[in-house]
Amino acid sequence: EVQVVESGGGLTQPGGSLKLSCIVSGLTFSGSYMSWVRQAPGKGPEWVSVIYRSGNAYYADSVKGRFTISRDNSKNTLYLQMNSLRADDTAVYYCARATGTGPLYFFDYWGQGTLVTVSS
């Protein structure tokens, strides 16, 4: 059974930082593209970042320069370092496996999400 478990969310002030973690089991983590997808209250999901097997990483324009995705294949763990947080970063953040054809991917396994709230 595939399990995806996020942690690290919480309340932080504008300009603050948080680091999310995601532990994956039941699939070949090192062979998978992994992604962060967020969902603001009452909105549709929004792709945030993806990291390839190679370690190459890509970001949505809205977070580029502020967020950093990384992975530790020895621990089957995905990370998202979030700096310079803004109120509009408030959302549930999901860790998801990205699968598909080359760089064209959808998301087949998702975690339960971790809530990030940015407010003074």
Partner 1 sequence: DIQMTQSPSTLSASVGDRVTITCRASQSVSDWLAWYHQKPGKAPKLLISKASKLESGVPSRFSGSGSGTEFTLTIDSLQPDDFATYYCQQYDSFSVTFGQGTKVELK
x/- letters, 33..52, toward partner 1 (CB under 8 A): ----------xxxxx-----
- Taking the C-alpha atoms of residue 66 and residue 25, their distance in angstroms, rounded to an integer, is 28
- Taking the C-alpha atoms of residue 22 and residue 34, their distance in angstroms, rounded to an integer, is 10
Query: Which of 85, 94, 114, 116 forms a contact with partner 1 (CB under 8 A)?
Result: 94
Per DSSP, 73 falls in state G
Query: Which of 17, 55, 72, 106 forms a contact with partner 1 (CB under 8 A)?
Result: 106
Are the C-beta atoms of 37 and 63 separated by less than 8 Å? no
The residues that touch partner 1, with contacts defined as CB under 8 A, are 43-47, 58, 60-61, 94, 96, 100, 103-108, 110-113
